[in-house]
Amino acid sequence: MAVARHLLWAVCVLRVALATVYFQEEFLDGERWRNRWVQSANDSQFGHFRLSSGKFYGHKEKDKVFLFEGLQTTQNGRFYAISARFKPFSNKGKTLVIQYTVKHEQKMDCGGGYIKVFPADVDQKNLSGKSQYYIMFGPDICGFDIKKVHVILHFKNQYHSNKKPIRCKVDGFTHLYTLILRPDLTYEVRIDGQGIESGSIEYDWNLTSLKKMDKTSAESKDWKQEEEDKLQDWEKHFLDASKPSDWNSELDGEWQAHMLQKPPYQDGLKPEGIDKDVWLHQKMKNTNYLTEYDLSEFENIGAIGLELWQVRSGTIFDNFLITDDEEYAENFGKATWGETKGPEREMDAIQAKEEVKKAREEDEEELLMGKFDGNQNNFRRFHRRDEL
Protein backbone atom coordinates (compact mmCIF):
# COMPACT_ATOMS: atom_id res chain seq x y z
CA MET A 1 0.00 0.00 0.00
CA ALA A 2 2.79 2.41 0.91
CA VAL A 3 4.71 1.65 -2.32
CA ALA A 4 1.59 2.17 -4.43
CA ARG A 5 0.91 5.47 -2.69
CA HIS A 6 4.44 6.67 -3.36
CA LEU A 7 4.19 5.72 -7.04
CA LEU A 8 0.92 7.61 -7.38
CA TRP A 9 2.44 10.62 -5.71
CA ALA A 10 5.36 10.43 -8.13
CA VAL A 11 2.86 10.64 -10.97
CA CYS A 12 1.25 13.65 -9.29
CA VAL A 13 4.62 15.35 -8.88
CA LEU A 14 5.40 14.86 -12.57
CA ARG A 15 1.94 16.05 -13.55
CA VAL A 16 2.10 19.17 -11.40
CA ALA A 17 4.66 20.58 -13.83
CA LEU A 18 1.86 20.71 -16.38
CA ALA A 19 -1.00 21.52 -14.02
CA THR A 20 -1.79 24.66 -12.07
CA VAL A 21 -2.82 23.79 -8.53
CA TYR A 22 -4.61 26.75 -7.00
CA PHE A 23 -5.48 25.08 -3.71
CA GLN A 24 -4.70 21.74 -2.08
CA GLU A 25 -5.40 20.72 1.51
CA GLU A 26 -4.85 17.33 3.17
CA PHE A 27 -4.38 18.41 6.82
CA LEU A 28 -1.04 16.62 7.09
CA ASP A 29 0.53 19.01 9.60
CA GLY A 30 -1.69 18.52 12.62
CA GLU A 31 -3.14 21.57 14.32
CA ARG A 32 -1.35 23.98 12.00
CA TRP A 33 -4.48 23.85 9.84
CA ARG A 34 -5.89 26.53 12.14
CA ASN A 35 -3.38 28.99 10.67
CA ARG A 36 -4.90 28.50 7.21
CA TRP A 37 -8.60 28.13 7.95
CA VAL A 38 -10.69 30.93 9.46
CA GLN A 39 -13.68 30.15 11.65
CA SER A 40 -16.46 32.68 11.08
CA ALA A 41 -17.40 34.85 14.05
CA ASN A 42 -20.62 36.07 12.41
CA ASP A 43 -22.70 34.06 14.90
CA SER A 44 -21.60 32.88 18.33
CA GLN A 45 -23.78 29.79 17.86
CA PHE A 46 -21.85 28.53 14.84
CA GLY A 47 -20.59 24.99 15.31
CA HIS A 48 -16.88 24.21 15.60
CA PHE A 49 -14.61 21.87 13.69
CA ARG A 50 -11.91 19.54 14.87
CA LEU A 51 -9.32 17.42 13.10
CA SER A 52 -10.37 13.76 13.11
CA SER A 53 -9.96 10.54 11.18
CA GLY A 54 -13.27 9.20 12.47
CA LYS A 55 -14.12 5.89 14.08
CA PHE A 56 -13.01 3.78 11.13
CA TYR A 57 -10.33 5.20 8.95
CA GLY A 58 -7.50 2.98 7.78
CA HIS A 59 -5.66 -0.27 7.68
CA LYS A 60 -3.00 -1.95 9.78
CA GLU A 61 -0.08 -3.09 7.68
CA LYS A 62 3.09 -4.28 9.34
CA ASP A 63 1.88 -2.75 12.62
CA LYS A 64 1.57 0.70 11.02
CA VAL A 65 -1.73 2.56 11.06
CA PHE A 66 -2.40 4.88 8.15
CA LEU A 67 -4.33 7.87 9.45
CA PHE A 68 -5.96 10.41 7.15
CA GLU A 69 -7.56 13.22 9.10
CA GLY A 70 -9.98 15.90 7.98
CA LEU A 71 -12.26 18.64 9.31
CA GLN A 72 -15.10 17.14 11.32
CA THR A 73 -18.29 18.85 12.50
CA THR A 74 -18.68 18.40 16.26
CA GLN A 75 -22.01 19.84 17.46
CA ASN A 76 -25.54 18.76 16.64
CA GLY A 77 -28.15 21.19 15.35
CA ARG A 78 -25.70 23.90 14.30
CA PHE A 79 -24.76 26.09 11.35
CA TYR A 80 -21.10 25.92 10.34
CA ALA A 81 -18.97 28.50 8.54
CA ILE A 82 -15.24 28.18 7.92
CA SER A 83 -13.01 29.08 4.97
CA ALA A 84 -9.45 29.14 3.61
CA ARG A 85 -7.97 31.73 1.30
CA PHE A 86 -5.54 31.28 -1.61
CA LYS A 87 -3.98 33.39 -4.36
CA PRO A 88 -6.79 34.83 -6.52
CA PHE A 89 -7.11 33.62 -10.10
CA SER A 90 -9.43 33.65 -13.10
CA ASN A 91 -10.50 30.47 -14.86
CA LYS A 92 -11.30 32.30 -18.09
CA GLY A 93 -10.40 30.09 -21.01
CA LYS A 94 -9.30 27.29 -18.67
CA THR A 95 -10.74 24.11 -17.23
CA LEU A 96 -11.74 24.38 -13.57
CA VAL A 97 -11.69 21.25 -11.41
CA ILE A 98 -13.04 21.28 -7.85
CA GLN A 99 -12.62 18.12 -5.79
CA TYR A 100 -12.84 16.94 -2.18
CA THR A 101 -13.86 13.99 -0.02
CA VAL A 102 -16.75 13.88 2.43
CA LYS A 103 -17.69 11.18 4.93
CA HIS A 104 -21.04 11.14 6.75
CA GLU A 105 -19.85 8.79 9.47
CA GLN A 106 -22.91 9.61 11.57
CA LYS A 107 -25.24 8.31 8.82
CA MET A 108 -26.57 11.75 7.89
CA ASP A 109 -30.30 12.31 8.45
CA CYS A 110 -30.49 16.01 7.55
CA GLY A 111 -27.64 18.33 6.67
CA GLY A 112 -25.22 19.57 4.06
CA GLY A 113 -21.94 18.08 2.90
CA TYR A 114 -21.22 20.60 0.17
CA ILE A 115 -18.49 23.19 -0.31
CA LYS A 116 -18.55 26.74 -1.66
CA VAL A 117 -16.02 28.62 -3.77
CA PHE A 118 -15.91 32.35 -3.02
CA PRO A 119 -14.55 35.56 -4.57
CA ALA A 120 -11.21 36.70 -3.16
CA ASP A 121 -12.83 39.63 -1.35
CA VAL A 122 -15.09 37.44 0.82
CA ASP A 123 -15.11 38.48 4.47
CA GLN A 124 -13.94 35.29 6.17
CA LYS A 125 -14.56 36.52 9.70
CA ASN A 126 -18.19 37.26 8.85
CA LEU A 127 -18.85 34.32 6.55
CA SER A 128 -22.51 33.31 6.57
CA GLY A 129 -25.36 32.15 4.38
CA LYS A 130 -25.57 35.69 3.00
CA SER A 131 -21.98 35.69 1.71
CA GLN A 132 -21.84 35.74 -2.08
CA TYR A 133 -20.24 32.69 -3.65
CA TYR A 134 -19.34 31.60 -7.18
CA ILE A 135 -19.96 27.87 -6.96
CA MET A 136 -21.74 25.55 -4.53
CA PHE A 137 -21.04 21.86 -5.04
CA GLY A 138 -21.63 18.65 -3.12
CA PRO A 139 -24.17 16.41 -1.38
CA ASP A 140 -27.22 17.54 0.56
CA ILE A 141 -29.36 15.07 2.51
CA CYS A 142 -32.60 15.60 4.42
CA GLY A 143 -35.14 12.87 5.10
CA PHE A 144 -36.32 10.59 2.31
CA ASP A 145 -36.90 13.32 -0.27
CA ILE A 146 -33.59 15.18 -0.51
CA LYS A 147 -30.55 13.12 -1.46
CA LYS A 148 -28.97 15.24 -4.14
CA VAL A 149 -25.71 16.72 -5.35
CA HIS A 150 -25.92 20.50 -5.63
CA VAL A 151 -24.18 22.21 -8.53
CA ILE A 152 -25.04 25.91 -8.28
CA LEU A 153 -23.35 28.60 -10.39
CA HIS A 154 -23.48 32.36 -9.92
CA PHE A 155 -24.30 34.12 -13.19
CA LYS A 156 -25.54 37.67 -13.80
CA ASN A 157 -26.12 38.32 -10.08
CA GLN A 158 -28.28 35.22 -9.66
CA TYR A 159 -27.75 31.65 -8.48
CA HIS A 160 -28.64 28.93 -10.96
CA SER A 161 -29.00 25.23 -10.13
CA ASN A 162 -28.40 22.32 -12.46
CA LYS A 163 -31.84 21.15 -13.61
CA LYS A 164 -30.73 17.50 -13.78
CA PRO A 165 -31.24 15.52 -10.53
CA ILE A 166 -27.94 14.04 -9.35
CA ARG A 167 -28.22 11.56 -6.50
CA CYS A 168 -25.54 11.59 -3.80
CA LYS A 169 -24.14 8.78 -1.69
CA VAL A 170 -26.01 8.22 1.58
CA ASP A 171 -23.85 5.65 3.43
CA GLY A 172 -21.29 6.31 6.14
CA PHE A 173 -18.15 5.87 4.03
CA THR A 174 -15.82 8.45 2.49
CA HIS A 175 -16.69 9.50 -1.05
CA LEU A 176 -14.81 11.55 -3.62
CA TYR A 177 -16.78 14.37 -5.30
CA THR A 178 -15.42 16.05 -8.44
CA LEU A 179 -16.82 18.94 -10.50
CA ILE A 180 -15.28 19.81 -13.87
CA LEU A 181 -16.19 23.02 -15.73
CA ARG A 182 -14.63 23.27 -19.18
CA PRO A 183 -14.10 26.39 -21.35
CA ASP A 184 -16.21 24.85 -24.14
CA LEU A 185 -19.21 25.18 -21.77
CA THR A 186 -19.39 21.47 -20.97
CA TYR A 187 -19.28 20.03 -17.45
CA GLU A 188 -18.97 16.72 -15.64
CA VAL A 189 -19.82 15.54 -12.13
CA ARG A 190 -17.94 12.53 -10.81
CA ILE A 191 -18.45 10.54 -7.64
CA ASP A 192 -15.67 8.17 -6.60
CA GLY A 193 -13.97 8.77 -9.94
CA GLN A 194 -16.97 7.68 -12.00
CA GLY A 195 -18.85 10.08 -14.26
CA ILE A 196 -22.37 10.51 -12.88
CA GLU A 197 -23.66 13.43 -14.94
CA SER A 198 -22.41 15.62 -17.77
CA GLY A 199 -23.66 17.92 -20.49
CA SER A 200 -23.95 21.55 -21.50
CA ILE A 201 -23.67 24.32 -18.93
CA GLU A 202 -25.81 26.53 -21.11
CA TYR A 203 -28.73 24.12 -21.30
CA ASP A 204 -28.48 22.13 -18.06
CA TRP A 205 -28.60 25.32 -16.01
CA ASN A 206 -31.48 26.85 -18.00
CA LEU A 207 -29.23 29.74 -19.01
CA THR A 208 -30.22 29.66 -22.68
CA SER A 209 -33.17 32.00 -22.17
CA LEU A 210 -31.01 34.49 -20.28
CA LYS A 211 -28.36 34.36 -22.94
CA LYS A 212 -30.86 34.81 -25.77
CA MET A 213 -32.66 37.60 -23.93
CA ASP A 214 -29.45 39.57 -23.43
CA LYS A 215 -28.27 38.87 -26.94
CA THR A 216 -31.62 39.96 -28.43
CA SER A 217 -31.54 43.12 -26.33
CA ALA A 218 -28.00 43.89 -27.44
CA GLU A 219 -28.79 43.17 -31.07
CA SER A 220 -31.90 45.36 -30.89
CA LYS A 221 -29.86 48.27 -29.55
CA ASP A 222 -27.22 47.69 -32.19
CA TRP A 223 -29.82 47.64 -35.01
CA LYS A 224 -31.42 50.88 -33.79
CA GLN A 225 -28.04 52.59 -33.50
CA GLU A 226 -27.03 51.29 -36.93
CA GLU A 227 -30.17 52.71 -38.57
CA GLU A 228 -29.60 56.08 -36.90
CA ASP A 229 -26.00 56.04 -38.15
CA LYS A 230 -27.16 55.24 -41.67
CA LEU A 231 -29.60 58.18 -41.68
CA GLN A 232 -26.96 60.56 -40.33
CA ASP A 233 -24.50 59.29 -42.91
CA TRP A 234 -27.06 59.88 -45.65
CA GLU A 235 -27.62 63.45 -44.51
CA LYS A 236 -23.90 64.14 -44.29
CA HIS A 237 -23.24 62.69 -47.71
CA PHE A 238 -25.17 65.63 -49.20
CA LEU A 239 -23.54 68.47 -47.33
CA ASP A 240 -22.05 71.09 -49.69
CA ALA A 241 -18.71 71.29 -47.93
CA SER A 242 -16.95 73.51 -50.51
CA LYS A 243 -16.61 77.06 -49.08
CA PRO A 244 -16.43 79.80 -51.72
CA SER A 245 -12.91 81.18 -52.27
CA ASP A 246 -14.06 84.78 -51.62
CA TRP A 247 -15.81 83.95 -48.38
CA ASN A 248 -14.78 86.37 -45.61
CA SER A 249 -15.51 84.95 -42.18
CA GLU A 250 -15.23 88.34 -40.47
CA LEU A 251 -17.69 89.98 -42.84
CA ASP A 252 -19.86 87.07 -43.91
CA GLY A 253 -19.81 85.08 -40.67
CA GLU A 254 -18.96 81.44 -40.05
CA TRP A 255 -19.35 79.22 -43.08
CA GLN A 256 -22.16 76.67 -42.79
CA ALA A 257 -22.42 73.94 -45.36
CA HIS A 258 -25.70 73.88 -47.28
CA MET A 259 -27.63 70.75 -48.12
CA LEU A 260 -27.52 69.60 -51.70
CA GLN A 261 -30.72 68.31 -53.23
CA LYS A 262 -30.94 64.60 -52.37
CA PRO A 263 -33.34 61.74 -52.93
CA PRO A 264 -35.33 60.30 -50.00
CA TYR A 265 -33.30 57.93 -47.83
CA GLN A 266 -33.48 54.29 -48.87
CA ASP A 267 -31.67 51.52 -47.07
CA GLY A 268 -28.79 50.33 -49.21
CA LEU A 269 -28.85 53.29 -51.62
CA LYS A 270 -25.52 55.09 -51.98
CA PRO A 271 -25.06 58.65 -53.29
CA GLU A 272 -22.99 58.88 -56.43
CA GLY A 273 -20.56 61.56 -57.51
CA ILE A 274 -19.91 62.95 -54.03
CA ASP A 275 -16.35 63.91 -53.25
CA LYS A 276 -14.79 61.72 -50.55
CA ASP A 277 -13.90 64.83 -48.53
CA VAL A 278 -17.61 65.40 -47.95
CA TRP A 279 -17.73 62.17 -45.95
CA LEU A 280 -17.89 63.63 -42.46
CA HIS A 281 -18.93 60.56 -40.51
CA GLN A 282 -17.67 57.00 -40.68
CA LYS A 283 -20.28 54.39 -39.98
CA MET A 284 -19.15 52.04 -37.21
CA LYS A 285 -21.00 48.79 -36.77
CA ASN A 286 -21.44 47.96 -33.09
CA THR A 287 -20.17 44.46 -32.36
CA ASN A 288 -19.73 44.79 -28.60
CA TYR A 289 -22.42 42.35 -27.60
CA LEU A 290 -21.18 38.86 -26.68
CA THR A 291 -22.13 35.88 -28.77
CA GLU A 292 -21.02 33.67 -25.86
CA TYR A 293 -21.47 34.75 -22.27
CA ASP A 294 -19.13 33.72 -19.47
CA LEU A 295 -21.47 31.08 -18.09
CA SER A 296 -18.76 29.33 -16.09
CA GLU A 297 -15.97 31.88 -15.92
CA PHE A 298 -15.13 33.65 -12.68
CA GLU A 299 -12.64 36.49 -12.58
CA ASN A 300 -11.58 36.58 -8.93
CA ILE A 301 -11.67 33.13 -7.33
CA GLY A 302 -9.85 33.32 -4.01
CA ALA A 303 -11.39 31.24 -1.22
CA ILE A 304 -13.02 27.89 -0.46
CA GLY A 305 -15.22 27.14 2.49
CA LEU A 306 -17.87 25.16 4.31
CA GLU A 307 -21.08 27.06 5.03
CA LEU A 308 -23.82 24.61 5.95
CA TRP A 309 -26.33 23.26 8.49
CA GLN A 310 -26.32 19.85 10.16
CA VAL A 311 -28.87 18.27 12.48
CA ARG A 312 -26.49 15.50 13.47
CA SER A 313 -22.75 16.25 13.42
CA GLY A 314 -19.85 14.00 12.56
CA THR A 315 -19.16 14.69 8.88
CA ILE A 316 -15.49 14.72 7.84
CA PHE A 317 -14.21 16.88 4.94
CA ASP A 318 -10.78 16.25 3.46
CA ASN A 319 -8.54 16.24 0.36
CA PHE A 320 -9.63 19.62 -1.01
CA LEU A 321 -8.30 20.43 -4.48
CA ILE A 322 -8.78 23.23 -7.02
CA THR A 323 -6.81 22.88 -10.26
CA ASP A 324 -7.02 23.37 -14.01
CA ASP A 325 -5.95 19.83 -14.85
CA GLU A 326 -8.36 16.87 -14.95
CA GLU A 327 -5.59 14.27 -15.00
CA TYR A 328 -3.87 15.76 -11.96
CA ALA A 329 -7.19 15.70 -10.07
CA GLU A 330 -7.71 12.07 -11.04
CA ASN A 331 -4.24 11.07 -9.84
CA PHE A 332 -4.66 13.08 -6.65
CA GLY A 333 -7.93 11.28 -5.96
CA LYS A 334 -6.27 7.90 -6.44
CA ALA A 335 -3.37 8.85 -4.16
CA THR A 336 -5.71 9.95 -1.36
CA TRP A 337 -9.24 8.54 -1.39
CA GLY A 338 -8.16 5.66 -3.61
CA GLU A 339 -5.71 4.46 -0.98
CA THR A 340 -8.13 4.63 1.95
CA LYS A 341 -11.48 3.46 0.52
CA GLY A 342 -10.66 -0.25 0.79
CA PRO A 343 -8.99 -0.23 4.21
CA GLU A 344 -11.77 2.00 5.55
CA ARG A 345 -14.43 -0.54 4.64
CA GLU A 346 -12.28 -3.36 6.02
CA MET A 347 -11.92 -1.61 9.36
CA ASP A 348 -15.64 -0.90 9.45
CA ALA A 349 -16.41 -4.58 8.78
CA ILE A 350 -13.99 -5.67 11.51
CA GLN A 351 -15.51 -3.25 13.99
CA ALA A 352 -19.02 -4.39 13.06
CA LYS A 353 -18.05 -8.02 13.73
CA GLU A 354 -16.47 -7.07 17.04
CA GLU A 355 -19.62 -5.18 18.03
CA VAL A 356 -21.79 -8.18 17.15
CA LYS A 357 -19.49 -10.46 19.10
CA LYS A 358 -19.53 -8.12 22.08
CA ALA A 359 -23.31 -7.85 22.02
CA ARG A 360 -23.62 -11.64 21.86
CA GLU A 361 -21.25 -12.04 24.80
CA GLU A 362 -23.22 -9.48 26.81
CA ASP A 363 -26.47 -11.31 26.05
CA GLU A 364 -24.95 -14.63 27.10
CA GLU A 365 -23.63 -13.06 30.27
CA GLU A 366 -27.04 -11.64 31.11
CA LEU A 367 -28.59 -15.04 30.42
CA LEU A 368 -26.08 -16.79 32.69
CA MET A 369 -26.64 -14.19 35.40
CA GLY A 370 -30.37 -14.79 35.09
CA LYS A 371 -29.93 -18.52 35.49
CA PHE A 372 -27.60 -18.00 38.45
CA ASP A 373 -30.12 -15.72 40.16
CA GLY A 374 -32.82 -18.33 39.51
CA ASN A 375 -30.72 -21.11 41.03
CA GLN A 376 -30.00 -18.96 44.06
CA ASN A 377 -33.70 -18.34 44.61
CA ASN A 378 -34.46 -22.07 44.32
CA PHE A 379 -31.70 -22.87 46.84
CA ARG A 380 -33.12 -20.37 49.32
CA ARG A 381 -36.62 -21.77 49.01
CA PHE A 382 -35.32 -25.34 49.45
CA HIS A 383 -33.20 -24.33 52.49
CA ARG A 384 -36.20 -22.70 54.19
CA ARG A 385 -38.27 -25.89 53.82
CA ASP A 386 -35.48 -27.85 55.58
CA GLU A 387 -35.47 -25.37 58.43
CA LEU A 388 -39.22 -25.73 58.89
Transcribe 205-241 into DSSP letters.
Answer: TT-HHHHHHHHHHHHHHHHHHHHHHHHHHHHHHTEE-
Q: Closest by alpha carbon to 44, among 130, 133, 126, 131? A: 126
Where does residue 278 rank: exposed (0-12), middle (13-18), buried (19+ CB within 10 A)? Answer: middle
Distant-in-sequence, close-in-space partners of 304: CB < 8 Å, separation ≥ 6? 23, 83, 84, 86, 115, 116, 117, 118, 320, 322
Q: By the 8 A CB rule, do 21 and 328 touch?
A: yes
Cα 150 → chain centroid: 9
The rounded distance, in Å, linking the Cα atoms of 188 and 200 is 9
Using alpha carbons only, what angle is made at residue 358 by residues 357 and 360, rounded to the nearest 5 degrees? 65
Q: Could you tell me if 312 and 111 are in contact, meaning their C-beta atoms sit under 8 angstroms apart? A: yes
Say how far apart CA 40 and CA 138 lie, in whole Å.
Answer: 21
How is the chain split among helix, strand and coil, in percent rounded to 5? 30, 30, 40
Provide the 8-state DSSP code for 167. Answer: B
**Measured between alpha carbons, how far is 147 from 210 in angstroms, rounded to an integer?**
28
CA neighbor of 257 nearest in space, from 241, 234, 273: 241
> How far lies 243's CA from each of 254, 259, 262, in Å?
10, 13, 19
116 labelled as ligand-binding? yes
Q: Is 140 annotated as a binding residue?
A: yes
> 307 among the known binding-site residues?
yes
Cα-atom radius of gyration of the chain, to the nearest Å?
35
Task: List residues forming the annotated binding site for an alpha-D-glucoside.
Answer: 114, 116, 133, 140, 307
Q: What residues are designated binding site?
A: 114, 116, 133, 140, 307
